[in-house]
Amino acid sequence: MKERTPAQSAPWVLVAGDFRPLGGMDKSNFMLAQYLVEQNIPVFLVAHSVDPALRGRAGVQACIVPKFANSYLLAEGLLRRRAREVITDVCRRWPNARVLANGGNCDWPDINWVHCVHHAWPCRDQGAPLWSRAKNRLGKFLARRSEQCAIARASLVLANSERTRDDLIRLLQVKPERVHAVYPGADPESRPPSSEERSAARQWLGFSPERPLIAFIGGLGHDHNKGFDTLWSVFRELCRITDWDANLVVAGAGRNLPDWRFQIAASDLEPRVRMLGVTDRVPEVLAAADLLVSPVRYEGFGMNVQEAICRGVPAMVTASAGVAEHYPDELRHLLIPNPDNCRILAEMLRRWRKRMPETREAFLALGSYLRRYTWRDMAERIVNIAADSVVEVEEEIAKVGSEC
């Protein structure tokens, strides 16, 4: 076999929807790209948007693919075509370049980093307008078809949790030896807030420091996958009980946000709820919160939960979410067994209210543990796994390059 150039010195092509320091998979891709640049590895990015802090760095070349009508669905085909053009050009110039795609956005036979499995993620849009349900189902059909092709062709598959890895093996018949679980990293400086930070955050939200505050962070579209419908039903019922004194803050946007605001106003609970919509002040939301609730129906991982715990905020999340794998036995009673069962969630919240100090104290140890595994650790693991697989993927990549 011919002598290889070390994989670490070759360029990487990363294909993703966005590279931004906020949000789940966007942040994971951003942090991987940033790590590669710090190692003096040339990086080619193909995406709809790249944060200026990354785009302006030496060694980064970005191919920005426009979105039609701000729709990822409409722009998916163009992203895939532009990615293939960039990859083909890079691999001709650097035969040992590495290519990392995300799910179904590119079917190149190198690395595929899977943050969610559409074959395990059904539409949850009962009650949505007919046009929205039709769009969701078309999008899901196309996503599953692209996912099937891309995962089948990938030589190496990375999953963001063991739950995602199991879904890939079970639903897409990926051979176990081809798929590795790599958890998202954490910000080591993301620590519990000081009393001054907490006080300022409560003042910003306009809530009394004496009342407990529950936070929800997630999308509010016509698809109810994030489970705010369950949380709202439970919160509304609990507010009918005289000793229930908690307030609620909601950070997230979507087409259903105006309807939720209308429902909350009509319920006479508006003084106890803050609907923030899109916000870049999530760290302040977490600084103010006593509990995060995430009754998701499908979640490959759950970055909002991890970020909350790292900030010292206890979190209730559905037991099937990937992030739940981090919960030790003594905290598993805070995992939601069924996100559609309002009675169980109501009982969990009432138990939490009676044991708030003990619960917060118990989560401090978990937060400390999560902060020790940083974004740099995640990126190093990905690069090391890729280096170990370089010989296995060489022939497939060379074959595709000759076809192009």
Domains by residue range for the chain, with CATH = 7-185+374-403 (3.40.50.2000), 195-371 (3.40.50.2000)
Instruction: Give exposure, 71-104, as e/b (b: 16+ Cβ within 10 Å).
Output: eeeebbeebbebbbebbeebbeebeebbbbbbbb
Q: What's residue 297's pLDDT?
A: 97
Angle at 293 between CA 291 and CA 294, to 5 degrees: 150
Q: Nearest to residue 227, comparing CAs of 292, 283, 133?
A: 292
Token pair in block for residue 190: 């993301």
Record the tokens describing residue 392, joined without a space.
């296995």
pLDDT at 74: 80
**Which helix (H) or strand (E) element contains residue 152?**
helix 130-153
Residue 6: pLDDT over 50: no
DSSP characters over 333-370: GGEES-TT-HHHHHHHHHHHHHTHHHHHHHHHHHHHHH
Q: What is the pLDDT of residue 394?
A: 55
And the tokens for 327? 């919960």
Q: What would the mean pLDDT of 330-353 be, rounded to a whole number?
A: 97
Query: So what's the pLDDT on residue 149?
Result: 95
pLDDT in tens, 38-63: 999 999 999 999 999 999 999 999 99
Q: What is the mean pLDDT of residues 307-326?
A: 97
The average confidence (pLDDT) of the chain is 92
What mean pLDDT do residues 375-401 have?
77
The whole-number pLDDT of residue 299 equals 97
Helix (H, G, I), strand (E, B) or coil at 169: helix
The more confidently predicted of residues 198 and 6 is: 198
* pLDDT reading at 395 higher than 60: no
pLDDT (tens digit, 9 = 90+) per residue, 10-39? 999 999 999 998 877 899 999 999 999 999
Q: What is the pLDDT of residues 83-140, one digit of tens each?
A: 999 999 999 999 999 999 999 999 999 999 999 999 999 988 888 888 888 988 898 9
Residues 6+ apart with CB under 8 A from 329: none
pLDDT in tens, 214-267: 999 999 988 899 999 999 999 999 999 989 999 999 999 888 999 999 999 999
| The pLDDT of residue 77 | 86
- d(C-alpha 379, C-alpha 38), whole Å: 11
E strand segments, 227-309: 247-251, 273-277, 291-294
Distance CA 95, CA 231 (A): 51
* pLDDT at position 127: 80
pLDDT score, position 389: 81
Residue 397: its pLDDT value, please? 53
Residue 2: per-residue pLDDT: 38
Q: How far is CA 294 from the centre of its chain?
A: 13
Q: Dihedral sign for Cα 335, 187, 114, 71, please.
A: positive
CA pair distance 232, 220, nearest whole angstrom: 12
Pairing status of strand 12-15 against strand 43-47: parallel
Instruction: Give the model confidence (pLDDT) of 168-196 as tens digits.
Output: 999 999 999 999 999 999 998 899 999 99
* pLDDT band at residue 396 using 50, 70 and 90 as cut-offs: low
Q: Coil, helix or strand for 59?
A: coil
